[in-house]
Amino acid sequence: MKKAVVVFSGGVDSVCAVSFLKSKYELYGITFSYGQKANMEISATKSFAKKLGLKQHKIIDIGFMKELYGDSNVLTSSKRKIPSKFEYSIVVPIRNAVFLSVASAWAYTLNASLVVYGAHTGDKYYPDCRPAFAKKLESAFNQGEIDGINSKIRKKIKIWSPYREGLSKSDLLKKGKKVLGDSIFRTWSCYSNKKLHCGVCESCNNRKIAFEKAGVTDKTKYLK
């Protein structure tokens, strides 16, 4: 069976992305702890790794990123507030490049042919979620291993995301609901670090709208 490495945040996007690939790939999950406020994500990944039958699951501490990023964005800053609509302050500079470079290094080691992250068409405001970025990054990584690929020591990788397939968040939810049933409501989307989803941050808002669009009754418990 072909292998895929999945950047696995415990959010609804990456969990549902796995639902799309589960029958075709042997899956290796990689979760990054980078000093984000929402560390509820991390604990969610462990149970979903089991539920989705990942072959291996690594939790990688890159807490040093919090110090490097400082107050450049609201997700790692301890001072700045999280807005309810998209603002560029939410964008963590090339966060996905950091995640995907480590995930791809592992993929070359495992001889996996696919590296996956959960970006979808609703992530259009995030430049490191768009297909143009994924395509260029994939090309750069394969260039960085070109001799190994040409001599068949390594496998060429493709960076796959729902966005590159034209899939929206509600497409992901529909598929995820089929595979996961009600446990889909235990995924974590909120940017804050509270016991329940805050219900007001940009990410909670997107979650609510996507469940509605998917025609799935949203059983997530929100604070507001």
**Which parts of this chain interact with a copy of itself (CB under 8 A)?**
58, 60-62, 64-65, 67-70, 72, 88, 91, 93-98, 100-102, 104-106, 108-109, 125, 127-128, 130, 132-133, 136-137, 139-141, 143-148, 151, 153-154
Q: Which secondary-structure segment (H or E) carries 107? A: helix 95-110
d(CA 31, CA 221): 24
Rounded alpha-carbon distances, angstroms, from residue 10 to 14, 30, 120, 137, 216: 7, 10, 15, 23, 19
Nearer to a copy of itself, 96 or 187 (CB): 96
Nearer to a copy of itself, 43 or 150 (CB): 150
Pull the structure tokens for residue 65: 């990123």
Nearer to a copy of itself, 107 or 198 (CB): 107
Smallest distance from a copy of itself to CB 221, Å: 34
Q: Is 114 helix (H, G, I), strand (E, B) or coil?
A: strand
Smallest distance from a copy of itself to CB 71, Å: 9
Nearer to a copy of itself, 170 or 206 (CB): 206
d(CA 168, CA 214): 10
Smallest distance from a copy of itself to CB 67, Å: 8
Nearer to a copy of itself, 53 or 93 (CB): 93
d(CA 56, CA 183): 21
Smallest distance from a copy of itself to CB 76, Å: 9
d(CA 128, CA 157): 18
Rounded alpha-carbon distances, angstroms, from residue 201 to 105, 193, 197, 206, 224: 33, 11, 9, 9, 10
Smallest distance from a copy of itself to CB 73, Å: 9
